[in-house]
Amino acid sequence: MVPVDGVRPRDLVDTYNAARSGGRRHHALDVMARRGTPVISADDGVVRRISTNALGGRTVYVVDPQQRFVHYYAHLDRYARGLREGQRVRKGDQLGTVGSTGNADRDAPHLHYQLLRYANARMWWAGDPVNPVPYLVLRGNKR
């Protein structure tokens, strides 16, 4: 499911291969939306980490139940009330709201969403990124 409430698959602009500083590629998807729009879980999973960092701002990592994929949600304005590490979430459950925390442009709030392969138990966050766009087949719809 598209991880922003009300956004349709055909609204997405594929920014996966966009250039970033230092010759890097984006390897993620930016979903532009108004500040405060619900950010929702793209799939069923478990909240693995809630943390703040300089680039991503307020972030959440969700791992799917089969531990095949890691979903990374960044630049959140706020976290969903009561969100905690270890919590099970279902597709469409709210994780937070769209914002511009971290290095995002204040005037262009968006969700930075990255899909990664689950690497291993020790380095679970460090797997290879995958372009999520072909998998986002349902309109974002908050449960």
Least CB distance from residue 63 to Zn ion, whole Å?
20
What's the rounded Cα separation, in Å, for the pair 100 and 85? 22
Our CB check for Zn ion shows the closer of 26 and 46 to be 26
- Comparison of 71 and 112: residue with beta carbon closer to Zn ion: 112
Give the one residue of 2, 30, 73, 116 binding Zn ion; rule: CB under 5 A: 30
Q: Is 112 in the site for Zn ion (CB under 5 A)?
A: yes
Q: Which stretch binds Zn ion (CB under 5 A): 2-10, 38-46, 109-117, 125-133?
A: 109-117
Structure tokens at 60: 């959440």
Burial call 4-17: b when 16+ CB within 10 Å, e when fewer: bbebeeeebeebbe
User: In the complex, which residues of this chain contact Zn ion (CB under 5 A)?
Assistant: 28, 30, 112
